[in-house]
């Protein structure tokens, strides 16, 4: 039987009205929380269970809350993170679970490629770093070159300032198979999403 992921995530803070207010005021969501729509992460958990995902790489982890919550629930065999630590420059702590394989620099670098190679096969790569279209395209092309099952993208609806690049990338993506996780953003009182998660396989 499937786990109750809503319950499993109940103690986690997601993008709520207060985070939205900070984002509007400062232009950045300067809060140590999961920068996602809770409903979409619940659906992502169901996908992870259904597809028996055992290895997970997140590119763009903010303070590490999403990666940590998913690893707490699924106890992946391999968990890995890439981030150039922007959250820290804003005064926020970054935490990842013990044993996480980390790359603390730019995903667009020869060093990243070398590091990614050392990880070997990764079931699910979650891309949530630079949201400019050229950067998402670049992260997509680079990461599909390494052994994986799924590549996921945050903000495929991309109606929030600074996220339209992911929407344009996703809508233009014609290759492979695409699955969309798009749920109402209840914690913002919305009957639609401003985010959305797209999952792609060859
Ligand atoms: C929206 S946040 C990630 C949110 C996180 N996935 C979550 O669900 O809470 C974007 C992150 O991407 C990182 N980032 C942006 N561009 C990057 C790049 N080129 N290389 C590595 N990290 C990058 C930033 O430091 C930031 O932590």
Work out the mean pLDDT of the chain and round it to a whole number. Answer: 97
Instruction: Give dist(CA 52, CA 39) in Å, integer.
Output: 20
Domains of the chain (ranges; CATH) run: 5-201 (3.40.50.150)
Ligand 1 centroid from CA 154, angstroms: 11
Q: Tell me what pLDDT residue 2 has.
A: 76
Q: Is 33 in the pocket of ligand 1 (CB under 6 A)?
A: no
pTM above 0.95, yes or no: yes
Instruction: Give dist(CA 61, CA 101) in Å, integer.
Output: 13
Ligand 1 centroid from CA 84, angstroms: 7
Atom number in ligand 1 closest to CA 126: 6
Q: Provide φ and ψ at 86, rounded to 5°.
A: -60, -40
Give yes or no for residue 70 having a pLDDT over 80: yes
Q: Provide φ and ψ at 194, rounded to 5°.
A: -110, 0
1-55 pLDDT, tens per residue?
A: 578 999 999 999 999 999 999 999 999 999 999 999 999 999 999 999 999 999 9
Instruction: Give dist(CA 108, CA 93) in Å, integer.
Output: 23
Ligand 1 centroid from CA 106, angstroms: 10
Q: Tell me what pLDDT residue 1 has.
A: 57
Strands 55-59, 101-103: parallel, antiparallel or unpaired by DSSP? unpaired
Rounded mean pLDDT of 128-144?
98
């Amino acid at each position: 039987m499937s786990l109750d992921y809503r319950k499993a995530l109940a103690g986690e803070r997601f993008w709520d009205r207060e985070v939205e207010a900070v984002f509007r005021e400062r232009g950045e969501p300067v809060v140590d929380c999961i920068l996602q729509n809770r409903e979409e992460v619940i659906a992502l958990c169901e996908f992870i269970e259904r597809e028996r995902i055992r290895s997970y790489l997140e590119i763009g982890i903010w303070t590490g809350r999403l990666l940590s919550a998913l690893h707490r629930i699924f106890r992946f065999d391999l968990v890995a993170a890439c981030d150039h630590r922007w959250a820290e420059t804003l005064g926020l702590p970054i935490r990842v679970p013990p044993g996480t394989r980390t790359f603390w620099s730019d995903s667009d670098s020869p060093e990243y490629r070398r590091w990614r190679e050392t990880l070997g096969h990764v079931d699910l790569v979650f891309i949530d770093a630079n949201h400019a279209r050229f950067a998402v395209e670049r992260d997509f092309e680079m990461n599909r070159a390494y052994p994986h099952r799924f590549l996921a993208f945050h903000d495929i609806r991309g109606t929030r300032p600074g996220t339209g690049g992911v929407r344009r990338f996703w809508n233009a993506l014609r290759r492979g198979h695409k699955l969309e996780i798009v749920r109402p953003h209840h914690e913002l009182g919305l009957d639609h999403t401003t985010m959305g998660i797209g999952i792609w396989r060859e």
